[in-house]
Amino acid sequence: MLACGCALALIAVAAPSTASANGAPSYPEAVVLVSGFNTASPFSTPAPECVGKQGEGWDTSGGIPPALRAAGMDVFTAPVANAGKSAPPSCPAAGAPLPNPKTMVINSNGDIDLNGAALARFLGFLGEKYGVTDVHLVGHSDGGLWIRSALTRNGAYAGISVSSLTTLGTPHTGSFVADLTVALNGGTCNFKNPTEEAICDAMSIAIGVVVNKLGRLATKQLTSSFLTTWNPKQSIGSCPVSGIAGDHVGFSLPLGSLDYYTPSDGLVGEASALAEAATDLGGHPIPAPGIPDFREAGVYDVVHGTAVKFLGKQNLLNTQAISDKVVETILPGGADCNVASAPAREAEAAATEVTRLRVPLYRLIAADRHGRLAAPGDQDFAVSKPGIAIRCGLRRLQTIPIAGDRRLRLHPPEGCDQPLRARGKGDRPARALLLRAHPRRDGLVRVEGDRARIRIRGKQPRRFTAKAQVGGKWKTLKLDRRGRTTLPDSGGELTLRLSVPRAGKGRGADRGHVSLAR
């Protein structure tokens, strides 16, 4: 999931190991840990020499691997690479088989379904080389999504039974931080004002650097719009799924209870981690992911992972109570999570599913030379670099890292009804942006198969444009009088951009982005 120090665990309930056909130890029931978005983990086995070598996210006091071993379980970690690099050095027993580095390594900044396919092949490798026949999956953050994708591709691990799934901080319906990051990266400023233009340019460059580092595709695939269209294509049969959430980070919103946003673990809201239906800031529904046997396994006062440790020391991977709960959620002899293979199911879902998505239209407003920003609306957020305080009167607003990256911070307005002030060292004026949603209009996209209807709701503009990103380039969509169009073929993900020009030359446009699973 986001720059989060996230992880997924594939758990094997230990039985006395025997030798597999190739001479390696055999673990009929086993556990696999897989780290998540923007992380790196080695392939490791239950061999004694691998204790403490599962990777940075797992090797923690009070962590999950020690609790699993204490319960008599065997633990593997899946190989995960970060930002185009190789996975860390493996730790198998001497002479033991290694997974294929080209087909079984997860790219923690990559495509969700390619990662699911790599994980599925890795499970097949464990069955073939290490004699694994029964597993329980435990996913932290994006790991839970990769597992669900892998389960739709069970032909890659024929002969292995998956009995249960436990997720920790998995954004089943999306991450509000990813939603806002995508909005920021596509926003435009009012270039009538030279000071605002200079500030906006500097901040926009920083936002682009963060998104490029995290992975543009991976970030877009963590938005609520993408997962709203991705979830119906997944199926895990009657698999019992236990979900754990963190709620250490909280801020007030003027519209009441919006637990897709708050409380959260700093990156994933409670409702998303618990696979619950919710609403966005505009009151539009965010549907539940449709997991038939989902079970809440607890909400804890922790943050997501090490990437947001400045928000709190205890996280989902280093808290003993959570590690003990993970052990409890593993269900020997549980329902079979293996289901029919994905292609037919995906084709049926694509042909019959009708999805309606709301698209907020945002603009970027830069602070003036005195560090002043306009009073925020209900859907607005301030953005700054670290070390900048955003104040509402005498009150300092909460700070949240953008997608877990420390270089930029989000500041929820928390009901502020007066102009904001950006302050740096010595209380001097500082650079900041306000991500402002249009208060009287937004976009609506209705998708059915390869057809879509796109329109603007609320105050009607004279004109607007809709574009699709294909092959890295923006292609203008031809809309009929009712806003209907045929969507281009783009592989696994398609991004649409709606632009409504502002009145006056050089004032930019209000823009909204929506990502679709195709």
Does the pLDDT value for residue 311 go beyond 80?
yes
Q: Are 350 and 449 in contact (CB under 8 A)?
A: yes
Between 237 and 233, residue with greater pLDDT: 233
pLDDT score recorded for residue 343: 45
Tokens 């004026």, residue located: 429
State mean pLDDT over 366-385: 90
From residue 450, give the alpha-carbon distance in Å to each of 111, 349, 355. 21, 12, 12
pLDDT of amino acid 193? 61
Between helix 142-151 and helix 112-130 the angle, nearest 10°, is: 70
pLDDT in tens, 266-291: 899 999 999 999 998 888 899 999 99
Mean pLDDT, rounded, of the chain: 86
The pLDDT value recorded for residue 186 is: 73
Residue among 141, 32, 191, 75 at smallest CA distance from 404: 141
Alpha-carbon span 56 to 93, nearest angstrom: 20
Give the pLDDT confidence score for residue 420 in this predicted structure. Answer: 96
Confidence at residue 341, expressed as pLDDT on a 0 to 100 scale: 46
Flag whether pLDDT at 207 surpasses 50: yes
Fold classification of 440-517 is Immunoglobulin-like (2.60.40)
Q: Are 218 and 255 in contact (CB under 8 A)?
A: no
Predicted pLDDT of residue 442: 93
What is the enclosing helix (H) or strand (E) of 30?
strand 29-35
Q: What is the mean pLDDT of residues 325-351?
A: 62
pLDDT digits (tens, 9 = 90+) for 12-40: 455 445 666 666 788 999 888 888 888 88
Could you identify the residue written with the tokens 């945002």? 362
Q: Does position 408 have pLDDT exceeding 90, yes or no? A: no
- pLDDT above 80 for 337: no
pLDDT at 349 > cutoff 70: no
Is the pTM higher than 0.85? The answer reads yes
Dihedral pair phi/psi, residue 448, rounded to 5°: -140, 105
Q: Is 347's pLDDT higher than 50? A: no
Exposure pattern of 267-297 as b/e (b: 16+ CB <10 Å)?
bbbbbbbbbbebbbbeebebbbbebebbeeb
Q: What does the alpha-carbon distance between residue 78 and residue 9 come to, in Å, rounded to a whole number? A: 8
Helix, strand, coil percentages (3-state) for the chain, rounded to 5, are: 25, 30, 45
Q: Where are the domains of the chain?
A: 7-174+226-348, 176-221+360-438, 440-517
Q: What digits encode the pLDDT tens for the residues 128-180?
A: 999 999 998 889 999 999 999 998 887 788 889 888 889 999 999 999 888 88
**Residue 153 has what pLDDT?**
82
Per-residue pLDDT at 389: 95
Assess if CATH 3.40.50.1820 describes domain 7-174+226-348: yes
